[in-house]
Amino acid sequence: MAAPIQSPAKCEVHSVIRFLNAKGERPAEIYKQIVAVYGNVMNRQNVMKWCREFSEGRTDVHNEQRSGRPSLISDNLLQEIEVEICANRRVTIRELYRIIPKVSKTTIHEGVTEKLGYRKLCPHWVPKMLMDNHKTKEMGSGKIQVGFDDNDKVQEVMTWFKGQAADFYDSGIQKLVPVLNKCLDNAGDYVEK
């Protein structure tokens, strides 16, 4: 698979959506193709919005000029949000707003979801592409960071796993199948309620 096209113009992505929509592709399939070629340049809801607008007769692939204030999302704000999320994966937008009250909840939400690329999932913020320093395992109420210098904790977890009955794993995996199918059907953009 070739590497995603880097930094495409928005009108280029909109043109692809218009073309695939005209061919009769479903918005979910168009979204999958956009992600495959361009990476995460647009979320599924925006793809659906553009498909709907093109179906309703829109022909212009450029965004309308917006009036109003420019974005308040600076690199410093993104770094501050990322630090808070890494410190507590269960933090909510409302809690982030209490911690960082200098900007609106909407701005914080945009920073978390669109700029940093996090999605709420069972109920932790997780990066779309997990890196080694993000990988954690949860056992009970405590988190155990898995790393080479955590051998005692890893051994504790392994002992716990070995102590479980065989049907523990089978039933757990069987419960995951429908959730994973929903994730696959929605190009990974699925949050269990």
pLDDT tens digits, one per residue of 14-60: 999 999 999 999 999 999 999 999 888 888 888 999 999 999 898 88
Total-model pTM: 0.37
Q: At what angle do helices 44-55 and 27-38 cross, to 10 degrees?
A: 120
Domain layout of the chain by residue ranges: 10-55, 75-127, 132-185
CB 78 within 8 A of CB 116: yes
**3-state SS string for 51-97:** HHHHHCCCCCCCCCCCCCCCCCCCHHHHHHHHHHHHHCCCCCHHHHH
Tens-place pLDDT, residues 176-193: 778 777 777 776 665 554
106-161: pLDDT as tens digits: 888 888 888 888 776 555 555 555 444 444 444 444 444 444 445 677 777 778 77
Task: Evaluate whether 108 touches 99 at the Cβ level (below 8 Å).
Answer: no
Measured CA to CA, the distance from residue 76 to residue 81 in angstroms comes to 9
Gap between the Cα atoms of 69 and 133, Å rounded: 36
For the cut 50, the answer to whether the pLDDT of residue 98 exceeds it is yes
Length of the chain: 193
